[in-house]
Amino acid sequence: MKRTHEPSPILQRLRLPIIGSPLFIISGPDLVIAQCKAGIVGSFPALNARPQAQLDEWLHRITEELSAWNRDNPDRPAAPFAVNQIVHKSNERLEADLATCAKWQVPIVITSLGAREDLNTTVHGWGGITLHDIIDDRFARKAIEKGADGLIAVAAGAGGHAGRLSPFALIQEIRQWFDGPLALSGSIATGDAVLAAQAMGADLGYIGSPFIATEEANADPAYKDGIVAGKASDIIYSNLFTGVHGNYLRGSIQAAGMDPDNLPEGDLKTMDFGTGNGSKPKAWKDIWGSGQGIGAVTAVESVAVRVDRMEREYKAARARLGL
């Protein structure tokens, strides 16, 4: 469809059209701050801050460090940051976490596993925007009907919770009726792939797995090495671990004593974003999420180096196409 709306001004202040996706356990202040300083949106799940009071500490640090960066680097301002809120009923912290986000006027709130009109209204009240992640057109329509500003299309091949649809099909269906902010998730690991996402109709690439293998990521060294050594054939799609289908590293499943090729079906009723009882291997601590695009990741390096490479790849791809 013909675009009549430009992406939110918040999303236009970027060096590259990339959102670093919120990674359970892995995304913390170090990673988010590095991503924002590099010129892409950095994000983290609110539930990564434990206990709940730590969320206030994290937002204070992120806000202060990015403000200081902007004062010292007016020619290279930091990108905005985002906090991911799990809207599922098992998340008992949602209201407290949202209040903390309101205190710090978080620029972008990413919502998952449930769309709520009142939450969108609350975020709009402090001047923020909401992006809701979806796996198909039906959920996309529900999210926009309930007031989300934009969508994150989680296509086949994305790390962690992921859909089954081709990105071509998913973006095509959404763009038939929606012209607002749209990010695409699913095996995007290079600047070339970001440009391809834009060619399909997305505004931004939504990238997670490559940032697991960075110096700033709060990931086990073996996890980082698994990303570097892995390729698409090392990714297993299963709903066993959370009740929702997702993509995981084969090696982490084997290390937990299970056969990746013979996993039982999970149960959506078991989804729990509370404290848990620690009685079985848990996603994302023991079972490691990863997307299919990790073949492009060849080393553990800093966020700055990784984003610099993506920028070179993005510009080279544009040049090849004469753009």
Give the mean model confidence (pLDDT) for residues 165-192: 97
Q: Report the relative pairing of strands 129-134 and 150-154 from DSSP bridges.
A: parallel
Sign of the alpha-carbon torsion through 192, 309, 205, 273: positive
Q: What's the pLDDT at 227? A: 98
Nearest CA to 101 out of 140, 78, 130, 68 is that of 130
Nearest CA to 197 out of 221, 174, 226 is that of 174
Q: What's the pLDDT at 276? A: 47
Q: What's the pLDDT at 139? A: 97
Contact in structure between 183 and 203 (CB atoms under 8 Å) = yes
Which pLDDT tens digit goes with each residue over 266-294? 876 665 665 544 435 566 688 999 999 99
Q: What is the pTM of this model?
A: 0.94
Nearest CA to 154 out of 138, 166, 141, 172 is that of 166
Nearest CA to 31 out of 213, 223, 252, 193 is that of 213
Q: What's the pLDDT at 281? A: 57
Contact in structure between 313 and 207 (CB atoms under 8 Å) = no
Q: How far apart are CA 173 and CA 322, in angstroms?
A: 28
Q: How many other CB atoms are there within 10 angstroms of residue 212's CB atom? A: 28
172 is written with which tokens?
A: 């095509």
Contact in structure between 95 and 85 (CB atoms under 8 Å) = no
State yes or no: pLDDT of 296 exceeds 70.
yes
Q: What's the pLDDT at 1? A: 60
Nearest CA to 197 out of 187, 208, 184 is that of 184
- In the chain the domains, ranked by start, together with CATH numbers, are 9-219+299-320 (3.20.20.70)
Q: How far apart are CA 270 and CA 248, in angstroms?
A: 18
Q: What's the pLDDT at 277? A: 40
- How far the first Cα of the chain sits from its last, in Å, is 21
Q: What percent of the chain is predicted at pLDDT more than 90?
A: 85
198 is written with which tokens?
A: 């834009």
Contact in structure between 101 and 83 (CB atoms under 8 Å) = yes
Residue-averaged pLDDT of the chain: 93
- Helix boundaries (H) for 105-208: 117-125, 137-145, 167-175, 191-200
Contact in structure between 110 and 135 (CB atoms under 8 Å) = no
3-state secondary structure of 121: helix
Which pLDDT tens digit goes with each residue over 230-268? 999 999 999 998 888 999 999 999 999 999 999 998 876
Q: What's the pLDDT at 160? A: 86
Which pLDDT tens digit goes with each residue over 11-41? 878 999 999 999 999 999 999 999 999 999 9
Q: How far apart are CA 202 and CA 181, in angstroms?
A: 8
> What distances in angstroms separate CA 18 from CA 27, 41, 218, 310, one per listed residue?
16, 6, 20, 10
Q: How far apart are CA 263 and CA 281, in angstroms?
A: 13
Contact in structure between 310 and 16 (CB atoms under 8 Å) = yes
Angle between helices 94-104 and 117-125 (to 10 degrees): 20
